Amino acid sequence: MEPRRLFDLINGIGMAKNPDAVISSVTTDSRELEPGSLFVAVKGDRMDGHDYVAEAAQKGAVAAVVDHVVPGCDIDQIVVSDTKDALIAISGNYRAGFSPKVIGVTGSVGKTTTKEMVAAIFSQFGEFVKNEGNQNNEIGLPNTLFSIGSTTQLLVVEMGMNNLGDISKLTRAARPDVGIITAIGVSHLENLKTRDNILKAKLEITEGMPAKGILVINGDDEMLMEARRSIPRETATFSIVNRDCDVVASNIMTREMHTEFTIKDRINGEFNASIPAIGEHNILDAIAGYTAATRIGLDPERAAAALANYRSTGMRQKMVEFEGITVIEDCYNASPDSMVASLSMLASLPVKGIKVAVLGDMLELGSISAEAHSSIGMFAAKCGIDVLLCYGPEMRACAKAAIAAGVACVAHFEDKKSLAVYLARTVHAGDAVIFKASRSMALEEAIDIFYKVK
């Protein structure tokens, strides 16, 4: 972060006793406090930042943003109604002092992969900043904005949400020149109740975009294409199936550890591209990134070639060769759409042996949970998956449906160790296995056990 006057950061947010004080960093983490900091006291599930205001004063923080005055603390306290909202607004004030080209990404699935595809492109065009990992919420996105500076030329930010209004706040701070909506799925139905509400929430990304900003949308998503008719701004579409879109991926060739394809861009022409990933969902994320990057003015040929620099992050479809077995670690999150994509990818792998899916519960699906898990079991059969191993109470419905649909070997497990031991006895060199589940299922623990006992 480059130093800024306190007044410039809190303008329109609150009042300070010493508005001309210079701020060198903004943090919600008391461990990062240092002289010159602005401390924002955020309430979390387990800790309340207000308990650390006194510590902020002792460490030399200039001021603290609070939702109530903390007595006995010798520090300038800026009182606001909601400190999380204040943090977002402060980061927006900071970002307003710079002029990088910005791409914002949201959607029900593929946000992080698309962000990383954009970052791969940006890496060939200049100094850029991106969200690290999955830092896409009311804390993570501000932290990303605070990391830009006068030399930042390009910025890509992923925006997540739990409720209506969340993305509206984030996009107003980030101010993307181009927005991407990857898809409208069923994640967050527990909170938002309907897909129409999910669509409405994702479209909030346009609220922070300039009037001439372009919205990039998935042309293979029926809800987005229907909504396109009523979006009062320019749009650009990308697709694999819908050949009428602005950017289309064709001539797709799956290799052992990468995919080659042709990008057909209605404006810029045709370009060969390759990504070190497998599966149509990854191709869609790649051409979403390409479309957005070229619509902010980056050279299309260089942008297409730069997709080869993509690298997966964390536990997202990380491909590992282990004792001749192709292992896909994909335990960061799961939804019906991403499960279908992962099973399709597993089915397309050019391996000689059997294909094994290890699946854990998908969460936050509300009333459709049982139906959604059953549909995954049926889809596993449709894909020709040889072995399906299920973990978690919701996955019982998946196992039952898979058996009925004809999957040759299906088993449900109560604990990860039993699952891992069974898997180790089942797979051999030449086989492929994917691990997929919602984050809180911690399915990576089963992976660790599998590697140890195999």
Tokens (6 digits) for 93: 């004030």
Are 241 and 107 found together in one domain?
Answer: yes
Which DSSP category does 267 fall into? T
Residue 278, in any domain of the structure: yes
- Strands in 409-413's sheet, in edge-to-edge order, are 318-322, 325-330, 432-436, 355-360, 387-391, 409-413
> How far lies 184's CA from each of 110, 227, 243, in Å?
11, 11, 20
Residue 232, in any domain of the structure: yes
Which DSSP category does 152 fall into? -
Q: How far apart are CA 151 and CA 388, in angstroms?
A: 50
Are 125 and 48 found together in one domain?
Answer: no
Question: Which pLDDT does position 375 carry in this prediction?
Answer: 97
Are 256 and 370 found together in one domain?
Answer: no
Rounded to 5, what percent of the chain is helix, strand, coil?
A: 40, 25, 40
State the DSSP string of 434-454.
EEE--GGG-THHHHHHHHHH-
Are 135 and 230 found together in one domain?
Answer: yes
Are 145 and 259 found together in one domain?
Answer: yes
H or E element at residue 239: strand 235-239
Are 18 and 130 found together in one domain?
Answer: no
Q: Where are the alpha helices (DSSP H) in 96-160?
A: 111-122, 140-146
CATH number at residue 240: 3.40.1190.10
Tokens (6 digits) for 302: 């260089």
Q: Which of 52, 82, 112 is at the close of a domain?
A: 82
Going 366 to 371 to 373 to 375, the CA torsion angle's sign is negative
Question: Which pLDDT does position 314 carry in this prediction?
Answer: 66
Are 141 and 159 found together in one domain?
Answer: yes
Are 220 and 367 found together in one domain?
Answer: no
CA angle 296, 301, 303 (to 5 degrees): 50
CATH number at residue 34: 3.40.1390.10
Residue 90, in any domain of the structure: no
Question: Which pLDDT does position 28 carry in this prediction?
Answer: 96
Are 58 and 199 found together in one domain?
Answer: no
Residue 380, in any domain of the structure: yes
Which DSSP category does 52 fall into? G
Are 220 and 270 found together in one domain?
Answer: yes
Q: Which of 309, 337, 365 is at the close of a domain?
A: 309
Q: Number of C-alpha atoms within 13 angstroms, CB side, residue 399?
A: 18
Residue 88, in any domain of the structure: no
Nearest to 291 by CA among 134, 153, 182: 182
CATH number at residue 409: 3.90.190.20
Question: Which pLDDT does position 210 carry in this prediction?
Answer: 96
Q: Which of 82, 113, 139 is at the close of a domain?
A: 82
Who contacts 366 (Cβ-Cβ below 8 Å, separation ≥6)? 189, 190, 193
Instruction: Look up residue 99 and give its amino acid.
Output: S
Domain count, the chain: 3
> What is the dihedral angle through the alpha carbons of 86, 88, 89, 91, rounded to the nearest 10 degrees?
120
- Buried/exposed 407-431: b ≥16 CB within 10 Å, e otherwise: beebbbbeebeebbbbbeebbeeeb
Tokens (6 digits) for 324: 């001749």
Are 157 and 289 found together in one domain?
Answer: yes
| Residue 164, SS3 per DSSP | coil
CB 281 within 8 A of CB 117: no
Residue 92, in any domain of the structure: no
Q: Where are the alpha helices (DSSP H) in 350-441?
A: 369-383, 395-405, 416-426
Nearest to 149 by CA among 172, 126, 128: 128
Tokens (6 digits) for 196: 């129409």
Per-residue pLDDT tens digits of the chain, which is 454 residues long: 999 999 999 999 999 999 999 999 999 999 999 999 999 999 988 899 999 999 999 999 999 999 999 998 989 999 999 999 999 999 999 999 999 999 999 999 899 999 999 999 999 999 999 998 778 999 999 999 999 999 999 999 999 998 999 999 999 999 999 999 999 988 777 788 899 999 999 999 999 999 999 999 999 999 999 999 999 999 999 999 999 999 999 999 988 778 999 999 999 999 999 999 888 999 999 999 999 999 999 999 999 999 999 988 766 778 889 999 999 998 888 899 899 999 999 998 888 999 999 999 999 898 899 999 999 999 999 999 999 999 999 999 999 999 999 999 999 999 999 999 999 999 999 999 999 999 899 999 999 999 999 8
Q: Number of C-alpha atoms within 13 angstroms, CB side, residue 170?
A: 33
Which structural domain range is residue 170 located in? 98-309
Q: How far apart are CA 157 and CA 172, in angstroms?
A: 12
Are 211 and 104 found together in one domain?
Answer: yes
Question: Which pLDDT does position 190 carry in this prediction?
Answer: 77
